[in-house]
Amino acid sequence: MIVNKENIRKHINDLLKEHHTASVQVAFIKDGQIILDEGYGFRDYQNKIPTDSDTIYSVGSSTKAFTGAAIAKLVEEGKLEWDKPVKHYLPDFAMYDKCVTEELSVRDILCHRCGLPRHDLVWYMNQFSSDELIQKLRYLKPAAPFRHTLQYQNLMYALAGYLIEAITGKRWYEYIDEVIVKPLGMENTYYAVAEAVKVENRALPHEYTDGDIKPIADYNFTNGSTIGAAGSIISNARNMLKWVDFNLNQGKYNGQQIIAEKEIKQCQTPQMINRTMFRTDLAEVDFQSYGFGWFIESFKGYKILHHGGNIGGFSAMVAFVPATNSGFCFLTNTRRTKLQSLLLYTFIDLLLGNEDFANWNKKITAYLEKMEAKMKKEKEDFVASCAKDAAQPLANQAYVGQYLNKAYGEVEVFVEDSQLTIKTPMASIPLKHLCLNTFLAEAEVEGNEIFLPIEFKVNMTAEVTGANIVFEPAIKEGIEFKKIV
């Protein structure tokens, strides 16, 4: 593998400017040797403090492959079985559907086929403990039949972390640290922002808004909650190359078999075909599937494995190509940067001997812009579909009250300055009337675009009894909240 470092530096610095990204840290490995390990841009954009190869970043959902490997270690030790129901290990465990409760296996939870969509706002906008979060799974409606469709989500990895703790008696991160991170020598790796903020050389989260790159607040996973097993690791690209090398060598590192090859192969084997995500319609991609914490696809006839991560103001990507015994990691500190997608295939091509930054920049940028336009149009179409002459039937005060869903918790509707407003754990958002008893909460909250259609339910005596709120887009009818006060 020949890498023209000067060309890479130029292209990446150009991409940082074009795509308004504060920094990116990049590292490559080939045949066990580090080929490149550099940082570009600023870990603190406001104060123009450069990033370097030691700077630490949140890796987001790239954490999932560590959780999958930790489960593989427990399988190797005979403490878990891939195809045994979770209920065998957690007798009080339950899902919305009785059949899924009885049959959901360890394999199912790691390859996103339990039937649940993301339901991310259950954990993202609340500070539920691990016990509370796992209890709430029984109240979450599925959006697809069991084992029918891959629906990428985070709650099942919270369950995987919970399972690790139940089996080992250790915190999920303590076990990962013990069996993976320390044996790989991944120094300066953390599992919570509270610890990482003590490190001076830490990238700060940013977003591009109003024509400038601006700092934003860190996202703090609920302290101690196993939701962190879905995305809370903080490290640097050089450390992540050790993780890549471990995976290229089927669980072996520096001559030591850390996790059995048989079980690591399970993590790297397609478990579920992907028909719903990342459908970029690329001629170079023949198919895509999911293993345990890895997307697995055929790219130009080569098997590649990769997993990204997005949390707060950070985006990450880890990938490797077994046939070429090479891989890479890149980490950025800007929310929704296009670099995450376009550099994935740029660098994969580079591992295959093709340096083509311009091609992938153009191709992926066009695709992402097309997807953004599609999502915008879908929202506009929804608003336009509401009957224009269907006036609000009740006075604002009729909708005021507390509303409860057993999984999502409580929201409040109140009147402020003659404006109906909904208060969620994320923020208070004004409600815009659309038609009859349907309203829309639309805002940008901490860089997240919030678009929540809300339909209030009214009985025969014109009393508001509840509301359906579209906290989860896959549940088209909305999440049902009961008015309690």
CB atoms within 10 A of CB 45: 23
Q: What is the largest CA-CA distance in the chain?
A: 75
* Average pLDDT of the chain to the nearest whole number: 95
Phi-psi region for residue 331, left (φ > 0), alpha (ψ -120 to 50) or beta?
beta
d(CA 69, CA 19): 34
Q: Which of 288, 279, 323, 286 is nearest to 306 (CA)?
A: 288
- Supply φ then ψ for residue 395, to 5 degrees: -70, 155
CATH number of the domain enclosing 22: 3.40.710.10
Same domain, 348 and 419: no
Q: Map 187-221 to HEC letters.
A: CCCECCHHHHCCCCCECCCEEEECCEEEECCCCCC
Note the pLDDT of residue 2: 67
Cβ atoms within 10 Å of 358's Cβ, excluding its own: 11
Q: Are 59 and 306 in contact (CB under 8 A)?
A: no
| Residue 293: Cβ-neighbour burial (10 angstroms; 0-12, 13-18, 19+) | buried
Q: Are residues 297 and 210 in the same domain?
A: yes
E-only strand ranges, 322-437: 326-332, 401-405, 409-416, 419-423, 428-435
Choosing from 331, 356, 381, the residue where a domain stops is 356
- With CA atoms as reference, report the closest residue to 27 among 342, 350, 352, 356: 350
pLDDT tens for 408-417 read 999 999 999 9
**Domain with 445 in it: what CATH number?**
2.40.128.50
What's the first-to-final CA gap in the chain, in angstroms?
A: 66
Same domain, 464 and 344: no
Last residue of a domain, one of 298, 326, 356: 356
- What DSSP assignment string belongs to 221-262? PPTT-GGGGGT--EE-HHHHHHHHHHHHTTTEETTEESS-HH
From residue 257, how far is each of 72, 250, 265, 293, 389 by CA, in Å?
Answer: 13, 8, 13, 20, 69
Q: How confident is the model at residue 183 (pLDDT cuts 50, 70, 90)?
A: very high
C-alpha angle with apex 432: 418 to 442, nearest 5 degrees?
120
Which amino acid does the sequence have at 218? D
In a domain, 224, yes or no: yes
Give domain status of residue 386, yes or no.
no
pLDDT band at 403 (very low <50, low <70, confident <90, very high): very high
Looking at the fold, whether 413 and 264 belong to one and the same domain comes out as no
Query: In terms of residue numbers, what domain contains 32?
Result: 5-356
Give one word for 52, left, alpha or beta, with left for phi > 0 and alpha for psi -120 to 50: beta
Domain boundary pick from 308, 325, 356: 356
Judgement on whether residues 237 and 348 belong to the same structural domain of the protein: yes
301-304: long-range contacts (C-beta < 8 A, 24 or more apart)?
302/352, 304/348
pLDDT in tens, 324-377: 999 999 999 999 899 999 999 999 999 999 998 999 999 999 999 999 999 999
Q: Are 72 and 264 in contact (CB under 8 A)?
A: yes
pTM here? Answer: 0.96
Establish if 64 belongs to a structural domain.
yes
Domains contained in the chain, number: 2
Q: Which residue has the higher pLDDT, 287 or 156?
A: 156
> What is the per-residue pLDDT for 281?
76
Q: Are residues 406 and 343 both part of a single domain?
A: no
362-393 residue pLDDT tens: 999 999 999 999 999 999 999 999 998 899 99
Residue 47 shares a structural domain with residue 180: yes
Q: Where are the beta strands (DSSP E) in 260-336?
A: 272-273, 285-290, 295-299, 302-311, 314-321, 326-332
Q: Are 188 and 263 in contact (CB under 8 A)?
A: no
User: Is 428 in the same domain as 311?
Assistant: no
Measure the CA–CA gap between 14 and 339, rounded to whole angstroms. Answer: 11
Task: Compute the C-alpha angle 156/58/265, nearest 5°.
Answer: 50
Q: Are residues 60 and 177 in the same domain?
A: yes
